[in-house]
Amino acid sequence: MSTDEWEDRVAALWADETVHDARRIALMRDLAADAPHPALGAFELGGAHDSGGREADADVSYAAATAAGLDAVDPDRAARMVVQHASTLRNLGRVDEAITMLRDAPPHPATGAAPRVFLALALHSASRVDEALRVAIEAVEPTLPRYHRSVRAYAAALTGD
């Protein structure tokens, strides 16, 4: 199967809302085995586990994607995986790991402000609510049509900066 065919089949599986989670995982497992690169298959399988509520399995797949060099194979997917994996870690109770991963995430067009939003969620899970609110406000501040200086000042005041 060509890379384009594989990508089309993966996209079609994600787009099909009639497929229940267990079936999506099984179908994605088959697609992962046929992936043009192991990192791509591991990433997509991790996503299927993740969306199906199987976070421990998602963690294993995401780690495999990283080990297989996803960042070199597909930088867009690698950027998305930071968000997805960190969210999985948060759901597994590994909040400090999630926070570190999200703080270290470089900006990428494939994720926009998502790393900051998920960082806010992780900080909230860690009971660091003022810091979480600050991060969330700072994530949306650039999208505001005005009030930038005021919003930045209010956000900084939340954590005493």
pLDDT tens, 53-70? 999 999 999 999 999 999
Q: pLDDT at position 55, please?
A: 97
Q: Sorting pLDDT into bands at 50, 70 and 90, what band is 160?
A: confident
Q: Is this prediction's pTM over 0.85?
A: yes
Q: pLDDT at position 139, please?
A: 94
Burial of 18 by CB count in 10 Å (0-12 exposed, 13-18 middle, 19+ buried)? exposed
User: pLDDT tens digit string along 11-40?
Assistant: 999 999 999 999 999 999 999 999 999 999
Contact (Cβ atoms closer than 8 angstroms) between residue 53 and residue 20? no
Contact (Cβ atoms closer than 8 angstroms) between residue 135 and residue 120? yes
- CA angle (61 as vertex; 55, 63 as ends), nearest 5: 100
Q: What percentage of the chain has pLDDT greater than the value 70?
A: 100
pLDDT of residue 82 exceeding 90, the answer is: yes
pLDDT of residue 104 exceeding 80, the answer is: yes
pLDDT of residue 127 exceeding 80, the answer is: yes
Q: Please, what are the domains in the chain?
A: 3-127 (1.25.40.10)
Burial of 4 by CB count in 10 Å (0-12 exposed, 13-18 middle, 19+ buried)? exposed
Q: pLDDT at position 54, please?
A: 97
